[in-house]
Structure 1
Amino acid sequence: MSDPALAPRNAVGGVVAVWATAFVATVAVGILVPEEWRIPWLLVAFGGVVLLSFAVQLWYGRTQGFIFRVAGSVTGALLLMGIISVGFGLAALIPT
């Protein structure tokens, strides 16, 4: 029989860490990658964020709420990356 965790780690920290990584990755792709290659690299970055989400939640070490934590991490990262990429798309429409 396993002992209950007396002081479990905070699950919100892992979700926010994935969101922060998604933000940094999206801004880096938007700034460093040419316009015609942004969408493929955003997909690669999102794939990395999904893998990071699984890794962080597995490191957390609790089975209760695992699916909800991963879903929250991935969904939030997807929305964040989508909003930022829309901003980069609109900025690309402005002639320089």
Structure 2
Amino acid sequence: MSEPALAPRNAFHGVLAVWIVALLTSIALGVFVAEDLRVGWLLISFGGIVLLSFAVQLWYARPQGFIVRVAGSVIGALMLMGLVSVGFGLAALATVV
């Protein structure tokens, strides 16, 4: 007889954790990195976020919906980082004028 499956962990917490890390990373880069170096560091940090999303979803050890969860993590992180960088870009334009 097969044993009943245990209640799986909620995988959305992993997606949310990646989004929070992406948000905090992009804010920290916007505050602490010079304007001319910011885009390069945002690209490097986004690569780290992609690796983090894979690691978090592999840690959950649930094969069902793996691609959807990783895609949700990465796309959400990309959108958050983009919005924060647009905000810092507009702030830089406002200080020039």
What's the % identity of the aligned pairs? Answer: 66
TM-fit CA distance, 1:3: 5.3
Q: Which residue of 1 aligns with 2:46?
A: 46
Q: 3-state DSSP class of the match of 2:95?
A: coil
Q: Distance in 1 between matches of 2:85 and 2:15?
A: 20
Q: Distance in 1 between matches of 2:3 and 2:60?
A: 16
Q: CA RMSD in A?
A: 1.4
Q: Which residue of 2 aligns with 1:65?
A: 65
- Structure 2, unmatched stretches of 5+, are none
Q: 3-state DSSP class of the match of 2:21?
A: helix
TM-fit CA distance, 1:94: 1.4
TM-fit CA distance, 1:12: 0.6
Deviations 1:18-46 (A, max 9, x none): 00000000000000000000000000110
1:1-96 equivalence runs, <5 A: 5-95=5-95
Runs of 4+ in 1 over 3 A off after TM superposition: 2-5
**Count of equivalent residues:** 95
- Taking structure 1 as the reference length, the TM-score comes to 0.94
> One-letter code of the match for 1:57?
Q
Q: Distance in 2 between matches of 1:63 and 1:3?
A: 18
TM-fit CA distance, 1:7: 1.4
- Structure 1, unmatched stretches of 5+, are none
Q: 3-state DSSP class of the match of 1:95?
A: helix
When residues 72 and 56 of structure 1 are mapped into structure 2, their CA distance, relative to the original with a 3 A threshold, is: same
- Taking structure 2 as the reference length, the TM-score comes to 0.93
